[in-house]
Amino acid sequence: MTREAVIHRVYSYLLHGERYYEILYSYTNEPDALHQSRVSHTNIYLNPEEGDHVLIEAVLNVITEIKKKG
C-alpha cells in the first residue's frame, strides 16, 4: 500500500558500516499522528530532508520504500 506523507525529522546513522535513517513522519490524511520508522539507505532516496513530501510504500505496516514525491 502506498501513502502520501511529510517527513518531520531525519536522523542518519551507521550500523555495521551501513547507512540507516530514522524517520519521523505523518501521513497527509492524518497530519496530527506522528509515526517513526528506521530504514536502510537502500529503501529511501538520496539525502532525505525535513519537510520533504514523500510516498511511503509498506506491506503489513513495514516500510519497503520511501520515494520523494514529484
Give every CB contact of residue 32 below 8 A, 6+ residues apart in sequence. 26
pLDDT number for residue 70: 82
Among residues 1, 7, 19, 3, which one has the least CA distance to residue 48? 7
Widest pairwise Cα distance in the chain: 36
- Determine contact, residues 43/63, Cβ cutoff 8 Å: yes
pTM for the model stands at 0.91
Residue 52 grid cell = 520533504
pLDDT score at 61: 87
pLDDT tens for the chain, 70 residues long, are: 999 999 999 999 999 999 999 999 999 999 999 999 999 999 999 999 999 999 999 999 899 999 999 8
Q: Where are the domains of the chain?
A: 2-68
